[in-house]
Structure 1
Amino acid sequence: MSADKIPTSTIAEMCELVVDCPHFTPAWTDDGYIVIRNQNIRNGRLDLTSPSFTHREDFERRIRRAKPQAGDIVITREAPMGEVCLVPDGVECCLGQRQVLLRPKPNVDPEYLYCALQSPFVRKQIFWNEGTGSTVSNIRIPVMEAIEIPRWPKEESAIAATIIALDDKMELNQRMNETLEHQARALFRDWFVDFGPVKARQAGDAPYLAPDLWSLFPDRLDDDGVPEGWTLGSLDQLIEFNPREKLTKGKDAPYLDMASLPTRGSGADAPAVRAFTSGSKFRNGDALLARITPCLENGKTAFVDGLAEDAIGWGSTEFIVMRSKSPVPPQVAYLIARDPEFRGTAIRSMSGTSGRQRASVNALTAYFAAIPDDEKTWVVLGSLLDPIFYKIAANAEENQTLAQTRDLLLPKLMSGEIRVGEAEREVEKVA
């Protein structure tokens, strides 16, 4: 069906409330009432792992027009524009700045409207000024109310269920990866930062590792506070910073920009292909650490594992590339890059003009590291980390397939090109 024949309703016709956010900045507090901020809305999800709070007085001021409730939709007006999420059950919150709340009418499926707002048909209306053919920097309330949403009354709930099934599977994989990474980080920190096994042996505690792992560790800490027989060295004995790689200018190669790096988790976005000009260079097994403010403070870090074998990728000049030296497992560079104490050192080392401060590589190379006296310790650690990161990579690859399927089906469902039954069969192949 052609775009001009798609049956539509406007957002104003589908919603009982279209409410702009209050135009004042709330007082920020360490706890209290949750304020949804634009940074909490990404890829269609409300992420409150790093929530922001305000006090009761400002919360009450911000909910005078409407208090968000389960099934409401929050859409960002700018910085960035057009990000959407559903308000889940059990979350008491208020809108932040540059946001609009949509409350669908009782006869409108909120999940369908949520899906439709992410379709190309609707996003084109959000991002483009039809009168000038140019992009817009923000979306005004009258324009938002006039946005046309495709209507398929008999199938809307089924369309939403089909798309959200893919979203839910991706969310499940993401949560699984967060758990797996937590296990890997806890293992590394216990062995090489907190020296848990050594302290337990010294205290005469019962072993909490398998006998073959328990035997890797000495019986006590030495006078420097490291396991007896181990050395206290600098991190550059274990990690190579910004290793040299060769790429020919003008040659196409996998490319990652700063936006590709996650703030949580190890997986970067799928790389684009660009002709090399200048920038950091990396291989599979390297860790990428943002060195510039605010990206470093926000946690932008990745473990590179999606390149073709022996391929060299390139990216932002604002990456610090960290590569484990043999026999240190490659994942260790990433685990160190995520370690809170290491990151604290990186942040404290920053210098430069306001807004353009960068971490010092010299400060990071000099970071203290405990080095085992037996290479077998690294080999055993690698045998434990490999399956964890293999599963993380497999889940991330599956999510890419799920996202591609979602992006393929959503516009076809919205345009009527395919029906729900056909879409459900496609979902069964990948979910």
Structure 2
Amino acid sequence: MSFKGWESVVLSEVIVFSNGKKRPSLPGKIPVYGGNGILDYTDRSNTQGESIIIGRVGAYCGNVYFEDQPCWVSDNAIAAKAIKDNSNKFLFYKLNSLNLHNFRVGSSQPLLTQTILKDIVIQLPPRTEQELIANILSKLDEKIELNNAINKNLEDMAQALFKRWFIDYEFPNENGEPYKSSGGEFEESELGLIPKGWKVGSIGEVSDVNLESYSGKEKWNYINYLDTGNITRNRISNIQPLDYKLDKIPSRAKRKVNPNDIVISTVRPNQHHYGMIREPLENMLVSTGFAVITSNRNFPSDLLYLWLTQEDITQKLQSIAEGSTTTYPSIKPADIQTLKIPIPHNQILKELSSVIEAMHKKMWEIQKQNRVLTEIRDTLLPKLMSGEIRVPIDEHEPTSINE
């Protein structure tokens, strides 16, 4: 299918490609890109200005990234730049729409070469239309990135406040002063010195693990399924809606999720596949690769989540996983249940939880908004790139997504 003003070209006519090089050893502030995005930071660049980066080899072969600042493209990737007055940003989205993973060769070590890329045929609109299309998609991506930055700030604030109260014991005393710095009393415990009046319990005492399982006997028409690869540091990238009659339900879809449940990957727990599900979708299940932790009423879920994601706790779980005899480093529910946790009096729990809960609710709302924005972008992308949806080229800037 072709449209007025659009032309059929091979990528070599509109893009110049070059293989990346081995990353420099010296650290710096310039991002180093590989097939999985930013790998590291160094002191030098091998491409400047607007650049498209394409994963060249391995599991991330065919991934596409965009960078508008100097960067270093590693030997696991290919650098690409628009030529002949074409738009780099439009071609970035165009390459994304092509599913370049499907062009790779090799099975044990997938590979995407310049030769393969250069011969791909695309339909290309005029420069003005390229810019309008790229602008629409960019506004969506910019809003998603802004939301991610807001969530990162909220996450950092929640972690900092939790650490000050729960780890450093600087919660306000009866006079509103920091407890530890103001000479608060401490006593010995299994976890070392803790404030007087606090006690030490186990995760198993303040929560249940894998409380509800899905047997398959429930007469559900569909499920909403979350696997371990789709959640990282409380950011959910994909929930798979599966029609029970039409789709094959994964055998791993066994754990039921209820509001405010915490899910933590039991396989390779150091890879940060964890999160708190504030508002689960109806009939939501997660993989058996997760432990689902349901806090009891005596200990707020928001605080339990922050405790479980403290670095020393995740390191302890990883140490247990590495000592396991399973095929992959993994932990058992009992390993989580036996973890020790300091338990303050109810007033401290109530005061801290009210603040943290508000932050987490805001983060969850932003996550939901980002999933909607991502769905809109992913729906528009192939339609705009194929010309199925046309943009009016006689008007000015399209309405901002941010408004």
TM-score range, shorter chain: 0.7 to 0.9
**Shift in Å at residue 280 of structure 1?**
2.8
Pick aligned residue for 1:307 from 280, 300, 306? 280
Match of 2:8 in 1: 8
Equivalent AA in structure 2 for residue 83 of structure 1? N
**Shift in Å at residue 226 of structure 1?**
0.8
Pick aligned residue for 2:207 from 208, 221, 239? 239
Equivalent AA in structure 2 for residue 420 of structure 1? V
Match of 1:255 in 2: 225
Structure 1 residues 263-293: Cα deviation after superposition (integer angstroms, max 9, x where no partner): x344352343364545333222111111213
Match of 2:154 in 1: 180
Distance (Å, rounded) in 1 between the aligned partners of 2:315 and 2:205:
20
Structure 1 residues 213-233: Cα deviation after superposition (integer angstroms, max 9, x where no partner): xxxxxx322234111101022
Distance (Å, rounded) in 1 between the aligned partners of 2:242 and 2:396:
32
**Shift in Å at residue 145 of structure 1?**
0.8
Equivalent AA in structure 2 for residue 367 of structure 1? L
Pick aligned residue for 2:115 from 123, 142, 151? 142
**Shift in Å at residue 93 of structure 1?**
2.2
Distance 1:69 1:298, change over 3 A: farther
Distance 1:13 1:193, change over 3 A: same
Contact 2:212/2:255 (CA < 8 Å) preserved in 1? no
Distance 1:28 1:292, change over 3 A: farther
Higher deviation after alignment, 401-410 or 71-80 = 401-410
Equivalent AA in structure 1 for residue 331 of structure 2? A
Match of 2:336 in 1: 364
Structure 1 residues 326-380: Cα deviation after superposition (integer angstroms, max 9, x where no partner): 132222333233211110110011134586111243333222211113x233233
CA RMSD of aligned residues (A): 3.4
Distance (Å, rounded) in 2 between the aligned partners of 1:258 and 1:356:
14
Distance (Å, rounded) in 2 between the aligned partners of 1:92 and 1:367:
43
Please show how residues 1-400 of structure 1 align to structure 2 within 5 Å.
Answer: 1=1, 7-15=7-15, 17-22=16-21, 35-39=32-36, 41=37, 48=38, 51-52=39-40, 67-77=46-56, 78-89=58-69, 91-97=70-76, 99-105=77-83, 107-119=85-97, 122-123=98-99, 127=102, 137-153=110-126, 154-197=128-171, 200-204=178-182, 219-224=184-189, 225-249=193-217, 251=220, 252-262=222-232, 264-273=233-242, 275=244, 277-278=251-252, 279-293=254-268, 296-308=269-281, 311-350=282-321, 351-352=323-324, 356-373=328-345, 375-400=346-371
Distance 1:427 1:316, change over 3 A: farther
Contact 1:247/1:312 (CA < 8 Å) preserved in 2? no
Normalised by the length of structure 1, the TM-score is: 0.77
Distance (Å, rounded) in 2 between the aligned partners of 1:254 and 1:30:
43
Distance 1:336 1:8, change over 3 A: farther
Distance (Å, rounded) in 2 between the aligned partners of 1:30 and 1:364:
37
Equivalent AA in structure 1 for residue 14 of structure 2? M
**Shift in Å at residue 245 of structure 1?**
3.7
**Shift in Å at residue 72 of structure 1?**
1.3
Contact 1:254/1:272 (CA < 8 Å) preserved in 2? yes
**Shift in Å at residue 81 of structure 1?**
2.8
Equivalent AA in structure 2 for residue 238 of structure 1? V
Contact 1:401/1:430 (CA < 8 Å) preserved in 2? no
Contact 1:239/1:325 (CA < 8 Å) preserved in 2? yes
Greater helix percent: which structure? Answer: 1
Contact 2:11/2:118 (CA < 8 Å) preserved in 1? yes
Contact 1:292/1:358 (CA < 8 Å) preserved in 2? yes
2:79 is paired with a residue of what secondary structure?
Answer: strand
Question: Which stretches in structure 1 are left out of the alignment for 5+ residues?
Answer: 42-47, 206-218
Contact 1:32/1:53 (CA < 8 Å) preserved in 2? yes
Greater strand percent: which structure? Answer: 2
**Shift in Å at residue 240 of structure 1?**
2.1
Distance (Å, rounded) in 1 between the aligned partners of 2:264 and 2:26:
29
Distance 1:12 1:385, change over 3 A: same
Normalised by the length of structure 2, the TM-score is: 0.82
Percent identity for Structure 1 against Structure 2: 21
**Shift in Å at residue 80 of structure 1?**
2.0
Distance 1:387 1:53, change over 3 A: closer
Higher deviation after alignment, 354-363 or 236-245 = 354-363
